[in-house]
Structure 1
Amino acid sequence: MRLGYAAATIFVAMMKLLRRHKNWLMIVIAILAIPFVFYFVQRPDYGAMRSDRFAHMYDRDVSMLEAQQIGRLLTLAQAIGMSDFVRTLTAGAGMNQNQVAVQFIINLLVLRHEAERLGLRPSASEIADVVRKLPAFQSESGFDINKFTDFVRNGLAPMGLGEEHIEQLVRDEICVNEIKRLLAAGITVSKGELDENFRRGYDKFYVSVIRFRPTDFQDGITVNDEDVQKYYDAHKAELKTDEKRKVQFVRLGLTEEQTKLTGKERIEVLQKLSDRATDLTQALLEKGADFKQAAEKFQLPVHETGEFTAAAPDPQLKSNPQLGAAAFKLSAQEPNSDPIQVADGFYILHLTGANETRPLTLEEAKPKIVEAIKKARSRELMSTKGAEVVNQLREATKSGQLLEAAIQKAGAKPEKLPPFSLIEEEKTKPDGNEPKKESADLAAIKEAVAFLNAGEISDFSPSGESGFIAVLEKREPFADANAGEKKAAFEKRILDNKQRIVLYEWLRERQQAAGLQSSKG
């Protein structure tokens, strides 16, 4: 690879990024493990993608066809075990598979553009070395040429891909790893930084919490007609009925016996089902085609749902989130879906009824409005009370009062939590013993007390619908015979997380430099 220009360019970018985040880097990432990728990586407007144009970047349109072709590479990368590569290019996409695909497509386009700009060109031997190490092609003795050949013959064709696409992905992975290495060149962890964060992460925290719930503040809240009218006028656009759909569908699935098949045999059966599903959708494109009649010709039983909403799909469609989502993409003009692949076959949907959303009248919306106002006001009262209690306790401790007495005087009921460390390691439980149930808001509590000294009181912290005040009673220094090993592993974790932050923000900045625009419908 030609690395001189690339190294110089990336080093400048890396130093800028580290300077920007040097103050809070460690506690957010290494200690509290907040999912930083959701902040650092730009998320396009997925809902605004238009059918003919996927996005606009690098002064050109990215067509849906091009995006779909790249999207198939995501499936291929997952199939051959390129998990770290996939995680890198889909960071920030969450759990929604459509968002995962969109993020992968955009970041792969960015990566390829930047690799070309930086002159990163992996050699054929480098690519071959990585291919031989891919998990999908391994057996007990290492690289298995038979597994590779079988995958090329039987795994790539159904995806419309060839052997060259494996090489392309490996080339991409080598490039992203080289960029990651160059970005990491100046990243270090000082002894002071390591010691401070290691102690904070592994010391034992003894904490009590005072919990607040909005339901405790609902008594006495009244909502009059004027309140309802004001809320209605301000939120008319949001106060609508739920959109509903009703569909017929056919399922082309594996038999109970066929679900036990693996490898080539399973692929062959699924391919036949795919061909049959495609033939049915082609038949439905004919003028005047009737869904039931077409299904009968293919000897497929037609099932029918009741009315359902996007939030609560019909029980017959709950097995896969794609099915309910696909139903809401259908219209009177395009009532039939394409084949929808699930784990054991394919579905084809046909729209039979649609109740579009409409604005609620004031009377229809009133129960929702009253509930919303009461919730909002009770949360406000809860937050106000929480802040008042914090001030009372802090003033009391400043004047020399015992904290326990001050809490009692404030009318609060503290809950003593089991001791914990900010970094908890999984422990094997003896047979028959249930693992201890952790507080649902433990992560938020850890964040609240991370920088407190013994005897100090946190601010009031909202947590979901409720809130809490945390009191750090004492902090017990970490003592472990294996501290040396843990510290070395911890240092590696800090370095890894620093490197990830720099890489993810580099990707985000490169997206911006590309002039990324999602297409508006």
Structure 2
Amino acid sequence: MMKLLRRHRDWLMIVIAILAIPFIFYFVQRPDYGAIGRDHFARIYDRNVSMLEAQQFARLLNLAQALGMSDFVGTLTAGAGLNQNQAAVQFIVNLLVLRHEAERLGLRPSASEVADVVRKLPAFQGDSGFDINKFNDLVQNGLAPLGLTEDHIEQLVRDQISLNEIRKLLAAGVSLPKSELDENFQRGYDRLYVSVVRFRAADFDKDIKITGEDVQKYYDTHKEELKTDEKRKVEFVQVTLNEEDKKLAGRERIEALQKLADRATDFTQALLEKSADFKQAAAKFQLPVRETGEFTAAEPDPQLKVDPKLGAAAFKLSTQEPHSDAVQVADGFYILNLTGKTEARPLTLEEAKPKIVDALKKTQARELMSTKGAELVQQLREAKKSGQPLEAAIEKAGVKPEKLPAFSLIEEESEKSEGNEQKKQSPELLTIKDSVALLNPGDVTDFVPSGTDGLIAVLEKREPLADTSGADKKAAFEKRILENKEGIVLVEWLRDRQQAAGLEFKKG
């Protein structure tokens, strides 16, 4: 059926190549699943799932991402966060569950349904909609390197359609009472006017006194934690673009990086040979070997500051496995070899003293801020009860409030800076929003830590939404809440089905 969509070739291998290069090194060569064995991935539905089968499913994850099936991938990897291994495991298990349940429920999407969805996949869209050239390019140039065919696109689309059908079935039990909608909409879109009283740790320094007895007590209690930083020393080779190739863009750059990936793979394979020597292998591949000085995880060697992944990779090496996989950076790959390791050792009291004093000062500053903040909160709440204006109570306390620009908990349109770039809400503003979300005008928050400092927020007033498009916003808001609820129910259903399937991970 998919052959009807074919014609020439051109572009999508770029997307696949970008995804495939890190995947080759990250998942296929050295998976690390903790409880998962070398040849045995899991047991589910009374059968064993081999690592070979699991790797095939993981390739489907890459394919789904390349096709732009973001909702589908997001649902099947829910809870994995940014950990690629966890995301792969979640996807594999949930896809096994989904296919089993779809078969049990008799969900069999028709060929026409599949074709309609394929034509709408983001990866195949051009200026005028579906672009057959992009489809052909993926099939002819992108799938084969991953061991996939166009049948796998069809199957993933069937999976997506089945998942959507199951979501509809589960959604029948999801509702949103009008009272809940009205309350949440009002709280979300009301314009809030807030003042904050800030507490800064530095303002309490003069009140903090650290004695020798305090230092000794802390040292005795935290001896196990007070250690020098572990240090590493590595040698490495670079398989990177030359200065001329760094100027390449688009497909030409991808092709150049792919050649480097192949060379890096050959080098790492050579290191797997018995009695392999890093420098000898580098000489064979005509790669110069560079060495670092000793460095810590917090402060990598300057030569490794090209990418944070390099320092992290160095601290994963051991005497048993001294060679790293190829670590991808912007212009190519690095392969590291551990040459030295200085273990962390306990600090003496004198060595630990500066660190202890700093920790004690921070702790005491937080305690003083929290105490002072709680006292002010109590004063303001008592003033409100007695009918005294909060402004007068704040002035009496000798602190200066800061009025914030009015805001809503839900900002429909992101503000733009002068450069027309989207402004990100500061962590502090998000903290304040969370603190005042359920307050009524005149209410005062508890003391709220904010980084090393803290604050108290006072909600002065709520101003109802006066937007003429309020009805449209409310309808969109209701739709989002229902979709979120349906998504939560679907994820919980998948977890429940995993348990019913008898999912087990065993060490091999």
Instruction: Please confirm whether the aligned pair reaches a TM-score higher than 0.5, indicating the same fold.
Output: yes
Residues 311 and 121 from structure 1, CA distance in 2 versus in 1: closer, same or farther, beyond 3 angstroms? farther
Which residue of 2 is the match for residue 158 of structure 1?
145
Q: Partners of 1:344 and 1:434 in 2: how far apart?
A: 27
Which residue of 2 is the match for residue 456 of structure 1?
443
Q: Of 300, 303, 309, which residue of structure 2 is paired with 1:313? A: 300
Which residue of 2 is the match for residue 138 of structure 1?
125
Secondary structure of 1:337's counterpart equals coil
Post-superposition Cα deviations, 1:256-287, rounded to whole Å, max 9, x if no partner, equal 43763544x55554443333223322333344
Pairs within 5 Å for 1:240-389 = 240-255=227-242, 256-257=244-245, 260-263=248-251, 268-389=255-376
Secondary structure of 2:206's counterpart equals coil
Tell me the CA shift for residue 76 of structure 1.
1.8
Tell me the CA shift for residue 74 of structure 1.
2.4
Q: Partners of 1:70 and 1:433 in 2: how far apart?
A: 41
Q: Partners of 2:507 and 2:400 in 1: how far apart?
A: 52
Of 383-392 and 244-253, deviating more is 244-253
Contact 2:109/2:161 (<8 A) preserved = yes
Residues 237 and 88 from structure 1, CA distance in 2 versus in 1: closer, same or farther, beyond 3 angstroms? farther
Tell me the CA shift for residue 113 of structure 1.
4.6
Of 207-216 and 111-120, deviating more is 111-120
Contact 1:209/1:417 (<8 A) preserved = yes
Q: Of 432, 444, 460, which residue of structure 2 is paired with 1:473? A: 460
- Given the alignment of the two structures, is residue 502 of structure 1 paired with residue 492 of structure 2, yes or no? no
The one-letter amino acid paired with 1:338 is: D
Secondary structure of 1:186's counterpart equals coil
Residues 284 and 245 from structure 1, CA distance in 2 versus in 1: closer, same or farther, beyond 3 angstroms? same
Structure 2, unmatched stretches of 5+, are: 1-31
Tell me the CA shift for residue 289 of structure 1.
3.4
After TM superposition, the score normalised by the length of structure 1 is 0.80
Post-superposition Cα deviations, 1:194-218, rounded to whole Å, max 9, x if no partner, equal 2222222222111111122333334
Which residue of 2 is the match for residue 169 of structure 1?
156
Tell me the CA shift for residue 291 of structure 1.
2.1
Secondary structure of 1:418's counterpart equals coil
The one-letter amino acid paired with 1:299 is: Q
Tell me the CA shift for residue 413 of structure 1.
1.9
Secondary structure of 2:341's counterpart equals strand
Q: Partners of 2:262 and 2:456 in 1: how far apart?
A: 60
Post-superposition Cα deviations, 1:364-399, rounded to whole Å, max 9, x if no partner, equal 333323322322222122222212211111112212
Structure 1, unmatched stretches of 5+, are: 1-45
The one-letter amino acid paired with 1:192 is: S
The one-letter amino acid paired with 2:131 is: D
Q: Partners of 1:356 and 1:108 in 2: how far apart?
A: 43
Contact 1:48/1:519 (<8 A) preserved = no
Contact 2:237/2:287 (<8 A) preserved = yes
Pairs within 5 Å for 1:60-71 = 65-71=52-58
Contact 1:89/1:107 (<8 A) preserved = yes
Which residue of 1 is the match for residue 77 of structure 2?
90
Post-superposition Cα deviations, 1:169-189, rounded to whole Å, max 9, x if no partner, equal 323322322222222123233
Q: Partners of 2:325 and 2:147 in 1: how far apart?
A: 17
Secondary structure of 2:120's counterpart equals coil
Residues 115 and 462 from structure 1, CA distance in 2 versus in 1: closer, same or farther, beyond 3 angstroms? farther
Post-superposition Cα deviations, 1:136-177, rounded to whole Å, max 9, x if no partner, equal 223344433433232122212333333333333323322322
Which residue of 1 is the match for residue 38 of structure 2?
52
Of 461-470 and 508-517, deviating more is 508-517
Q: Partners of 2:424 and 2:123 in 1: how far apart?
A: 38
Contact 1:155/1:267 (<8 A) preserved = no
Contact 1:320/1:342 (<8 A) preserved = yes
Which residue of 2 is the match for residue 426 of structure 1?
413
Residues 311 and 110 from structure 1, CA distance in 2 versus in 1: closer, same or farther, beyond 3 angstroms? farther
Post-superposition Cα deviations, 1:340-361, rounded to whole Å, max 9, x if no partner, equal 3445433222222222333334
Secondary structure of 2:456's counterpart equals strand
Secondary structure of 2:154's counterpart equals helix
Tell me the CA shift for residue 111 of structure 1.
3.5
Residues 239 and 175 from structure 1, CA distance in 2 versus in 1: closer, same or farther, beyond 3 angstroms? farther
Q: Partners of 1:212 and 1:63 in 2: how far apart?
A: 57
Post-superposition Cα deviations, 1:481-516, rounded to whole Å, max 9, x if no partner, equal 222222221221221222222223334444555666
Tell me the CA shift for residue 239 of structure 1.
2.8
Which residue of 2 is the match for residue 217 of structure 1?
204
Residues 468 and 111 from structure 1, CA distance in 2 versus in 1: closer, same or farther, beyond 3 angstroms? farther
Which residue of 1 is the match for residue 429 of structure 2?
442
- Given the alignment of the two structures, is residue 184 of structure 1 paired with residue 171 of structure 2, yes or no? yes
Residues 361 and 160 from structure 1, CA distance in 2 versus in 1: closer, same or farther, beyond 3 angstroms? farther
Tell me the CA shift for residue 479 of structure 1.
0.7
Which residue of 2 is the match for residue 398 of structure 1?
385
Contact 1:54/1:67 (<8 A) preserved = no
Tell me the CA shift for residue 435 of structure 1.
8.4
Q: Partners of 2:160 and 2:406 in 1: how far apart?
A: 43
Residues 206 and 323 from structure 1, CA distance in 2 versus in 1: closer, same or farther, beyond 3 angstroms? same
Which residue of 1 is the match for residue 26 of structure 2?
none
Residues 511 and 312 from structure 1, CA distance in 2 versus in 1: closer, same or farther, beyond 3 angstroms? farther
Post-superposition Cα deviations, 1:20-66, rounded to whole Å, max 9, x if no partner, equal xxxxxxxxxxxxxxxxxxxxxxxxxx884567378655377766555
Contact 2:237/2:288 (<8 A) preserved = yes
Q: Partners of 1:205 and 1:164 in 2: how far apart?
A: 53
The one-letter amino acid paired with 2:265 is: T
Contact 1:53/1:61 (<8 A) preserved = no
The one-letter amino acid paired with 1:506 is: W
Residues 275 and 440 from structure 1, CA distance in 2 versus in 1: closer, same or farther, beyond 3 angstroms? closer
Contact 1:386/1:460 (<8 A) preserved = yes
After TM superposition, the score normalised by the length of structure 2 is 0.82
Of 347-356 and 436-445, deviating more is 436-445
Q: Partners of 1:234 and 1:150 in 2: how far apart?
A: 63
The one-letter amino acid paired with 2:245 is: E
Secondary structure of 1:346's counterpart equals strand
